[in-house]
Amino acid sequence: MKGADAEARAAAHLASLGREIVARNYRIPGGEIDLITREGEVLVFTEVRQRRSNHYGSAAESVTPRKLALMHRAALTYLSREHGRDDLPCRLEVLTIDGPAATGTLTLTPLDG
C-alpha cells in the first residue's frame, strides 16, 4: 500500500511523543484522516505526507488548500459520528517526511484554525 511505510513511521513517532493512537486511515466519502491520536484530552488529526525526492516539491508543498479542507471535514465527521459532538478539544497537523520513509527528515507542523 502506498504510504504505509511513511504512516507506520509517523505513528511510531507520535507514540514516542506519548500519544495514544486512536485510529488509522479514517475515511469518509471524499476525505480521509491518516492518523488520529490523543494527547491528554486533545484529539489530534494528522495528515502524513512523504516525498522520496524534491523533484516535484517538498512533502509539505504537496498539502493543498483543498486537502486541508477535506481533512477538516473528515475531522468534523469523525467527532460527530464517534463522539456525538463536534466541539471537543482537537487540532489538525501535518507530519512530513522528506526522503525515504524509514530515514527521511521528519517534520511535524501544527495547523492554525
Cell numbers representing residue 8 in the block = 507506520
Per residue in 59-96, pLDDT (tens digit) is 888 889 999 999 999 999 999 999 999 899 999 999 99
SS3 2: coil
Distance, in Å, from the CA atom of 103 to the CA atom of 113, rounded to the nearest integer, reads: 31
DSSP β-bridge partners for residue 105: 98
Give me the pLDDT at residue 81, please: 94
Domain with 60, as residue range(s), is 4-110
Q: Which amino acid is residue 96, in one-letter code?
A: T
pLDDT at 24 over 90: yes
The model scores a pTM over 0.95: no
Distance, in Å, from the CA atom of 81 to the CA atom of 21, rounded to the nearest integer, reads: 18
Cell numbers representing residue 67 in the block = 486537502
Per residue in 28-40, pLDDT (tens digit) is 998 899 999 999 9
pLDDT at 2 over 70: no
Whose CA is closest to 107, among 44, 64, 48, 39? 48
Task: Provide the domain count of the chain.
Answer: 1
Q: Output the CA angle 63-7-76, nearest 5 degrees.
A: 60
Give the E-state strand segments of 19-85 in sequence order: 20-28, 31-39, 42-51
CATH, residue 23: 3.40.1350.10
